[in-house]
Structure 1
Amino acid sequence: MPYQQRIDRRRPGCFLFLVDQSGTMQQAIGGSAQVRKGQALSDTVNDVLYAVLIECTKDVREEEPRHYFDVGVIGYGGPGTVVPVVGGDGRDPLVPSAHLPRYARVETREKLLPDGEGRYRPVSRRSMVWLDPVWHGSTPMCAALQYAHKVLKRWAARHRDSFPPIVLHVTDGMATDGDPRRAAARLRRLRTADGRLLLFNLHLSARGEQAVYFPSAPVGGADPATALLYEMSSELPAGLVEEAGYADRIAPGARGFVYNADVPELVDFMRIGTATTGRVRAG
């Protein structure tokens, strides 16, 4: 049965974040005039990386976290621009979780957080920052997926006994460099002994429309990106959904896909996509 492997230092897991940094990411998210899509995305990724760091720190007296995961963040935006934005290099952008603190800076930042009434309120707090909001140019999604394949093919070959890599892809639009379905299918065919790579996709909305939330069947609609991103997405393993605490909200057979997301859906998406942090065991 796939997707059962626990995670330890001999069998680390892998998260790769693909983040759209095209020009439209400067638009407000969910129809709000307060929060730009690029800002919401960078804040959420920073929070997730910090959560991974905490899960990999078994003893606060240790000098650094343990190597339970390899983590990469790939940004894409502009004509063919696909670059690692957190450590690593062009050939291998993955960073061992033990090294994540080296690539962060600590700042006191004012974040806009939901107040439960449809608005956002400013909250100041000290945060570790890996990713800054960036937006420019077009949306070379196909190139980003192809780059991810190159990186994760090597990783999977070196970690045959590990839980398969998880790719968390966040975008706000259609690819400008072709049809990404072929590149996505090729990426999903990568595997370890524990199963195929998992590719989850989230579309950020600027319109404040109702979200399509982890559907188990194709969803009709005027926007062709809905069907395209659904087709690109892996089915959510039941174990991940349960470990993230969402079993009562997500139907069996659901795809790892959210459309027209606002900040709460973005947070849910990241929590489910990184639920394997709960599988860490000493060793």
Structure 2
Amino acid sequence: MNMGSYQQSVSRSDPGCVVILLDRSDSMKLLWANTGATLAEGAALAVNNILLDMCIKATTEVNAPVRPYFDVGVFSYGARLSTPGEGVESAFGGGLAGRGLVPLPELAENPITVRAEPSIDLMSVTAKMPVWVDPVHGYRTPMCEAIALVGAHVFDWAGAHPNSFPPIVINITDGMVTDSPHEGATLIEWVKRLTSVATNDGPTLFFNVFLSPAEAAEIVFPAHPGGLPPPGPDLFALSSELPPAMIENARVDGFDVQPRARGLAFNVGRSTLLKVLQVGTRVPDRPS
């Protein structure tokens, strides 16, 4: 597949698109290593942090309005909030409940609440911050259904924004997919369909973050699957190569990233998760 140039900067006329897929299966209730928080709590905290980070970076000066540099979506799979049971849905609550892709200014204006949240590094340190996504867990891991739903959203978005930087989809999970095949297609086939959606700047990027309750060595942006325990090799095969600009961003952030590295982070802790999300959502600088 043509990797594309991935050089288009974001602007009000050509915004970017970031979608986060959030695992809400039953195993997300497990404690995240020695943090004292569940995987669901840690993942929700990181997602809220990156959404706030995106809003701040789209603000040119203090108290200025957030500019529409991105359309953003967060979709969950596993337990549903809207109706009891298992499925896939928008993870937004409050005024954005049920919404798909939301312009960044609208996101900034519609958190569920603003409350004291623990630091991404130290659970004992708190600060007030907006909350768009709450921690939820239950049921199985219908990842294929989630990718199918997101694929429909990014297909429509790419058609409406042909000159934009391609959509970025980041999947945060702690488990094995439980619905492959789904509607006759396997997980890898659903991912191929997703990453076949393209703008003039290149195909959709699909990155994966694997969380584990066990303390283990972090493996971030590997260039080959060797040494990855299950389901690492499978997630590696699903993950897009990092574009050159993202490789440079990752190196600046202290990651040892080799050419042809994939957008995969395995067994990451909370602070590393946020750094990975920052690398994965950082596109070429917008025009001045």
Normalising by structure 2, report the TM-score: 0.88
Mean CA deviation greater in 81-90 or 37-46? 81-90
- Judged with a 3 Å threshold, the aligned counterparts in structure 2 of structure 1 residues 127 and 207 are, in CA distance, closer, same or farther, namely same
Deviation string, structure 1 residues 65-97 (Cα, Å, up to 9, x no partner): 11110000001104651111226575x600001
- Judged with a 3 Å threshold, the aligned counterparts in structure 2 of structure 1 residues 192 and 77 are, in CA distance, closer, same or farther, namely same
Checking the alignment, whether the CA contact within 8 Å between 1:108 and 1:124 is kept in structure 2 is no
1:243 and 2:249 are equivalent in the alignment: yes
* 1:26 CA displacement: 0.9
The match for 1:26 is: 29
The match for 2:183 is: none
Once residues 42 and 72 of structure 2 are traced to their aligned partners in structure 1, the CA distance between those partners, rounded to angstroms, is 20
- Judged with a 3 Å threshold, the aligned counterparts in structure 2 of structure 1 residues 188 and 60 are, in CA distance, closer, same or farther, namely same
AA aligned to 2:140 is: S
AA aligned to 2:247 is: V
The match for 1:146 is: 148
Once residues 173 and 136 of structure 2 are traced to their aligned partners in structure 1, the CA distance between those partners, rounded to angstroms, is 13
Of 80, 93, 96, the residue aligned with 2:100 is 93
Q: CA RMSD in A?
A: 2.0
The match for 1:226 is: 232
AA aligned to 1:23 is: D
- Judged with a 3 Å threshold, the aligned counterparts in structure 2 of structure 1 residues 37 and 215 are, in CA distance, closer, same or farther, namely same
Of 253, 256, 260, the residue aligned with 2:260 is 253
Once residues 148 and 60 of structure 1 are traced to their aligned partners in structure 2, the CA distance between those partners, rounded to angstroms, is 34
Once residues 128 and 93 of structure 1 are traced to their aligned partners in structure 2, the CA distance between those partners, rounded to angstroms, is 19
AA aligned to 1:281 is: P
After TM superposition, the structure 1 = structure 2 runs for residues 12-51 of structure 1, keeping only pairs within 5 Å, are 12-29=15-32, 31-32=33-34, 34-51=36-53
Counterpart secondary structure, 2:56: helix
* 1:279 CA displacement: 1.7
Mean CA deviation greater in 72-81 or 160-169? 72-81
* 1:220 CA displacement: 4.3
The match for 1:200 is: 207
Of 2, 5, 19, the residue aligned with 1:2 is 5
Mean CA deviation greater in 173-182 or 239-248? 239-248
Of 187, 193, 198, the residue aligned with 2:194 is 187
Deviation string, structure 1 residues 116-140 (Cα, Å, up to 9, x no partner): xxxx450121111111101011110
1:280 and 2:286 are equivalent in the alignment: yes
Note the residue ranges of structure 1 that are not aligned, 5 or more in a row: 115-119
- Judged with a 3 Å threshold, the aligned counterparts in structure 2 of structure 1 residues 214 and 23 are, in CA distance, closer, same or farther, namely same
* 1:35 CA displacement: 1.6
Once residues 73 and 244 of structure 2 are traced to their aligned partners in structure 1, the CA distance between those partners, rounded to angstroms, is 25
Of 155, 158, 161, the residue aligned with 2:157 is 155
AA aligned to 2:207 is: F
AA aligned to 1:47 is: N
Checking the alignment, whether the CA contact within 8 Å between 1:80 and 1:143 is kept in structure 2 is no
Note the residue ranges of structure 2 that are not aligned, 5 or more in a row: 80-84, 181-185
Of 211, 221, 225, the residue aligned with 1:214 is 221
Once residues 191 and 113 of structure 2 are traced to their aligned partners in structure 1, the CA distance between those partners, rounded to angstroms, is 35
Of 238, 249, 269, the residue aligned with 1:262 is 269
Once residues 84 and 38 of structure 1 are traced to their aligned partners in structure 2, the CA distance between those partners, rounded to angstroms, is 16
1:73 and 2:93 are equivalent in the alignment: no
Checking the alignment, whether the CA contact within 8 Å between 2:115 and 2:131 is kept in structure 1 is no
Deviation string, structure 1 residues 189-208 (Cα, Å, up to 9, x no partner): 11100011100001101111
* 1:103 CA displacement: 2.1
Once residues 273 and 248 of structure 2 are traced to their aligned partners in structure 1, the CA distance between those partners, rounded to angstroms, is 18
Mean CA deviation greater in 203-212 or 151-160? 203-212
Once residues 222 and 235 of structure 1 are traced to their aligned partners in structure 2, the CA distance between those partners, rounded to angstroms, is 20
Counterpart secondary structure, 1:81: strand
- Judged with a 3 Å threshold, the aligned counterparts in structure 2 of structure 1 residues 80 and 187 are, in CA distance, closer, same or farther, namely farther
Once residues 192 and 269 of structure 2 are traced to their aligned partners in structure 1, the CA distance between those partners, rounded to angstroms, is 27
AA aligned to 1:204 is: L
Over the matched positions of the two proteins, sequence identity in percent amounts to 33
